[in-house]
Amino acid sequence: MIELLLAFTLWPWVLTLALVGGLMISAATETTFVAFIALIIYAAVARFVFDVTPFTWIIENPGGTLIAAALYVCVGIAWSLFKWRDHLVNPEMQRKLTRGHQEHLAKGGRSEDFRESQYFPSEAEASSHKTRIINWIALWPFSAFMFVFYDLLSRFFSRIYEALAGTYDRLTDRYTP
């Protein structure tokens, strides 16, 4: 009997973990489609299988819902601005911007006209990243988690590798006939 009770009460947690997993995948791939599907499946299963009404609190507390939604979106906007800045200051993006600017100036262009020129990289245009920016706003908690536990850690370990790359090369040279 206890096993049956434990199995039944375990399913909502498994479902929640699956939802969080779907949202993490959506944040990692920077698409909102997976998140949308995961939320619909979660709401449907919660409602029809576990008789949980996920929208009851929302319907009964419209003021609190609007405040929470406004705060969520405001934090998401701030997060998206941080992520966009991080995208633009990325060394690879800076190389593209510098190279494009130099080509623009070499062709007789003025610095003020660089953004409108053919030499301005499309990767630096926010309009080319609409889905990505919407994802940062809509899924900011998961995007922030991915930033801390993936982006920052991989940057950290990349720097360690770069610091030791010469040592690895010297070892290779030393043991290569």
pLDDT of res. 8: 59
Name the burial class of residue 43, with classes exposed (0-12), middle (13-18) and buried (19+) by CB atoms within 10 angstroms of its CB.
middle
- Residue pair 46/54 in contact (Cβ under 8 Å)? The answer is yes
- pLDDT in tens for each of the 177 residues of the chain? 455 555 557 777 777 788 888 888 888 877 777 788 888 887 787 777 777 776 787 888 899 989 999 999 999 999 999 999 999 998 888 999 999 989 888 988 888 888 888 888 888 899 999 989 999 999 999 889 888 888 888 888 988 999 999 998 898 988 888
Task: Identify which of 79, 54, 68 has the alpha carbon closest to the alpha carbon of residue 139.
Answer: 79
Task: Identify which of 96, 95, 120, 94 has the alpha carbon closest to the alpha carbon of residue 107.
Answer: 120
pLDDT of res. 7: 52
Domain spans, the chain: 1-54
pLDDT of res. 4: 52
- Tokens 């909102």 belong to residue: 32
Q: Which two tokens stand for residue 57?
A: 């609190």
Sign of CA dihedral 119, 121, 122, 124: negative
Residue 80 CA to residue 73 CA, distance in Å, equals 10
Cα diameter, the chain: 81
- Residue pair 142/30 in contact (Cβ under 8 Å)? The answer is no
